[in-house]
Chain A
Amino acid sequence: MPLLDVHELTTHFHTREGVVRAVNGVSFRVEPGETIGIVGESGSGKTVASLSLLGLIPAPPGRIENGTALFDGVDLLACGPKTLRSIRGRAISMIFQDPMTALNPFMRVGDQLMEPLQVHRGLSRREARTRAEEMLRLVGIQDGARNLSAWPHEFSGGMRQRVMIAMALITRPHLLIADEPTTALDVTIQAQILELLARLQRELGMAVILITHDLGVVARVCRRIYVMYAGQVMESAATEALFAQPRHPYTEALLQSLPSTHVKGEPLHTIPGLPPDLIAPIAGCPFAPRCASATDRCTRGAPTLRELVPGRATACFRVQDGEL
């Protein structure tokens, strides 16, 4: 049984300019202990989808229009704020891209680390402090006692991200949602943090949803990948299969536009045009206007994500019909 089973998640923002269809019928699942990747460019809805699960969408203007998200038998989208509060931070934790804005600048690192333990586990200050010190050591910060009384601004970006990870994992959650956890970091620090996440995942046996725009990062750490575009899942596959043989034209174009896949000097493959405006209703496939393989049919009706072979699905008419 999957740990998390999201079905047809739809989140819209009702703004003065119109309805922004940020997430449109997204389905994915996470098995216990596995790492999945959700990749997409900015505006593809990957962050909104994960925030919707945790009830962190500002409402209004945001509204979850449809869908279910079964986590351990509880529907996260329907269970109400009280239940959600007891799940968030205990069974499901989240880390964000920018550790500077995600940490409270007015709270000492130690107090922030201990807070989830005191709130969710009802530990005393002293017990929480011991656990916090342990956790800091686990994320590779030595001299825990001194660092617990430090302020966030005293830490570098990499160290802050370690603190964020320590904070998210201190309650030993079953699921960690990591939203661009290394995007703000330098590559050598990114390598350290990814290594750390992989180690902790093994040690704690938790599942991870890694949200990123970086195809290199998902290739390194994820077992399965969901590719999002304009609020929809375009393709899902096991990592090796996706990179070896992308089936959806968008995935293919995205992989082809990476400089590292090119011979030096030859022009980079580009995707013409821009992602669609999510306020204007999209009749057909959202990628159709930019797709080299699109036909009339693609602009008339919207394809749904369908499984081609077990573990592999695409939302493309032409792939589903065996034409591509």
Chain B
Amino acid sequence: MTRPLLELRELRVHFPVYAGLVRRRLLGTVRAVDGVSLDVAPGETVGLVGESGCGKSTLARAVVRLVPCTGGTVGFEGREISALREPAFRAIRPRLQLIFQDPYASLNPRMTVFDALAEPLRVHGLADGRDVLRRVSDLMELVGLAPRFMRKYPHEFSGGQRQRIAIARALALEPKLVIADEPVSALDVSVQAQILNLIARLREQMGLTLLFIAHDLSVVHYLSHRIAVMYLGRLVELGPAGEVFHRPRHPYTRALISAIPVPDPVREKTRQRVALHDEPASPLNPPSGCPFHPRCPWAQPRCAETVPPLESCGDGHQAACIRLDQM
């Protein structure tokens, strides 16, 4: 087996929370990411799903050091990159790119498309002079934008086109791994389909490895080889996309999948839904034991005692639930 491109081991990101303006005192710690281990093989697409506040975006940011890790390690191309000093990390950073949800916020409104795409090329010394112009127009064609628009500003484009620009910018440095954080959530359905097709095509064309983060499970299922489900900072289920989507084992995944409204009124009327009461606990004050137990319809007293580890439940399929054999 080839070595994974990205290896997360017991990754932890804890944020201290303070109160008071003058006399600051520590209120507690938000355990945004709390011991996540995950491998992504070269060429693989792993979908990371979870609801808001589960830590999925923090995990993405921790991988590229936009937030500091407080524990665990990040391995990339066989090296532990979480321990690297800044200059060494910067040298591998081009091969590790991020695409964000909101193309309105992630593009500088004062930079033309040309400036936005030329900047990474120049910063990393990948092109200069006339070469820049050629590379920029190649990139624009790659993502389906006409190069004649390169002198335009972000506000002159639609949301979908802006996301294309953001994708082109991420791909400018020919990355190995692209982390896409909710890249289609802000887009309309018809535009969303265009961008998903684009991502799928580029993945084939450039042999990209993708960590695809989204809250929409049907989108994740469509694009991913494997799906990882996060809840309150931990992975609760991990497995082949079809398995997780069609035969979810963890109660949370089941609830999540049954909650997605399907565009089929006949099925909607007959579907069994796993009803969850309440809302996720605050990551500032997570429940004892399994983080999901206060909302879980199958919970038993012992669920509050220990945090269940991920255990195998079939071919490459893992779930973290002490009642796994009964699920």
Chain A contact residues, CB within 8 Å of chain B: 41-42, 156-159, 186-192, 194-195, 213-217, 219-220, 239-240, 243-244, 253-255, 257-262, 264, 267-271, 274
Contacts and interface: CB of A to CB of B under 8 A. Distances in A.
A262 B219 CA distance: 10
B259 interface: yes
Contacts of B67: none
A219 B197 contact: no
A13 B158 CA distance: 20
Contact of A189 (B192, B197, B279): B279
A216 B260 CA distance: 8
The 6 closest A-B pairs by CB, nearest first: A216-B261, A186-B51, A41-B188, A257-B193, A268-B193, A259-B222
Given A186-B52, A192-B276, A219-B262, A260 B218 contact: yes
A271 B190 contact: yes
A103 B221 CA distance: 36
A259 B193 contact: yes
Contacts of A244: 266
B37 to A, nearest CB: 25
Interface string B259-281: 11111111010000101110100
Main secondary structure of the interface of A (DSSP, over half): helix
A213 B242 CA distance: 27
Interface string B185-210: 00011111110110010000000000
A240 B158 CA distance: 33
A267 B261 CA distance: 22
B150 interface: no
A156 B222 contact: no
A187 B260 contact: yes
Interface in B240-297: 241-242, 255-256, 258-266, 268, 273, 275-277, 279
A266 B126 CA distance: 35
Interface of B: 51-52, 158-160, 188-194, 196-197, 200, 215, 217-219, 221-222, 241-242, 255-256, 258-266, 268, 273, 275-277, 279
26 contacts: A41-B189, A41-B191, A158-B279, A187-B215, A188-B256, A189-B51, A189-B279, A190-B261, A191-B273, A191-B276, A192-B276, A215-B263, A217-B261, A243-B263, A253-B190, A257-B193, A259-B193, A259-B219, A259-B221, A260-B262, A260-B263, A262-B222, A264-B242, A267-B197, A268-B194, A270-B194
Given A186-B215, A264-B242, A274 B193 contact: no
A269 B221 CA distance: 16
A190 B260 CA distance: 9
Contacts of B256: 187-188
